[in-house]
């Protein structure tokens, strides 16, 4: 524990600078530069809203915001997890020349993705004003849900980072698994009403992603109470899983450079 705090504070500046640099280099060579961060999720939202709202005739209230919340949180999870599998290999030039606690690579990437997620949530809030969603106290759950999402994503990513070093084709398998989770989380449809019982309950309780999305929508859009008990369980479980992962990285990371 002490070592984690020490390492994070030691490399904090580097992570911040490097995350900023990542964002900068992403937009440096394009014409629209940062506009892409707004444009991309917006366009995706329009596509899904058209397909599922018009063609499949979904009838949820505030359907475009409904989808947008889903995409915002999914993108954060998806991008971080996908990166983590290849993180050590793709940072070979750094990893083979200096020592850096390897899980910090994930935290750095999470900073980048969290920044984009915040822009996305900014758009969500603008849309909520535009569609006249009335503000409620339930909206304050937002903070807890985002925190849980971040910790949960990190916990899964550290373990994937470790296995990604040794198992060459893990990213292929992961792509499929992620696609399954994508459809099982109800990003563009309402799990609770569209999936027949008892499967909807199982999915909502067993798939943290579905739980997080569902809670977020309830809190922001529909002024319903969320099941914060389960959320806390997920958060706590993620913290433990994450610590276990960090411990695993500490034990093994100096062997990584020999393999990549």
Q: Using CB under 8 A, which of the segments 17-25, 66-74, 78-86, 231-239 binds another protein?
A: 17-25
State the DSSP string of 203-222: HHHH-HHHHHHHHHHHHHTS
- Bin 105: left if φ > 0, else alpha if -120 < ψ < 50, else beta: alpha
For another protein, which residue of 21, 32, 202, 240 counts as binding (CB under 8 A)? 21
Nearer CB in complex with another protein: 99/199: 99
For another protein, which residue of 42, 127, 167, 243 counts as binding (CB under 8 A)? 167
User: Contact between 232 and another protein (CB under 8 A)?
Assistant: no
User: Contact between 28 and another protein (CB under 8 A)?
Assistant: yes
Please count the residues of this chain forming the interface with another protein, following the rule CB under 8 A: 34
Nearer CB in complex with another protein: 123/167: 167
By CB under 8 A, the residues from 91 to 130 that bind another protein are 91, 93-100
Which letter, b or e, does each residue of 206-243 get, where b requires 16 or more Cβ atoms within 10 Å of its Cβ?
A: ebbbbbbbbbbbbbbbeeeebeeeebeebbeebeebbe
For another protein, which residue of 42, 123, 170, 233 counts as binding (CB under 8 A)? 170
As a whole number of angstroms, the distance between CA 169 and CA 155 comes to 21
């Amino acid at each position: 524990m002490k070592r984690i705090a020490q390492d994070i504070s030691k490399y904090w500046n580097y992570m911040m600078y490097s995350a900023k640099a990542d964002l900068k280099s992403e937009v440096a060579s394009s014409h629209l530069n940062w506009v892409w961060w707004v444009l991309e999720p917006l366009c995706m939202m329009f596509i899904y809203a058209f397909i599922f709202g018009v063609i499949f005739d979904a009838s949820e209230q505030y359907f475009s915001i409904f989808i947008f919340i889903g995409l915002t949180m999914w993108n954060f999870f998806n991008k971080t997890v996908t990166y983590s599998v290849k993180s050590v290999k793709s940072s070979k030039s750094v990893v083979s020349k200096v020592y850096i606690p390897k899980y910090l690579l994930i935290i750095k990437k999470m900073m980048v993705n969290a920044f984009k997620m915040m822009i996305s949530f900014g758009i969500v809030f603008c849309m909520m004003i535009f569609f006249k969603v009335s503000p409620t106290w339930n909206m304050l759950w937002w903070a807890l849900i985002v925190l849980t999402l971040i910790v949960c994503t990190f916990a899964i990513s550290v373990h994937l980072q470790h296995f990604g070093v040794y198992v060459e084709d893990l990213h292929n398998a992961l792509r499929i698994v992620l696609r399954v989770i994508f459809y099982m989380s109800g990003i563009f449809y309402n799990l609770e009403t569209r999936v027949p019982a008892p499967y909807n309950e199982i999915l909502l309780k067993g798939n943290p992603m579905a739980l997080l999305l569902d809670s977020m929508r309830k809190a922001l859009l529909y002024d319903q109470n969320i099941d914060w008990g389960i959320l806390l369980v997920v958060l706590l479980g993620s913290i433990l899983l994450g610590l276990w992962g960090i411990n695993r990285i500490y034990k093994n990371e100096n062997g990584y450079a020999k393999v990549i």
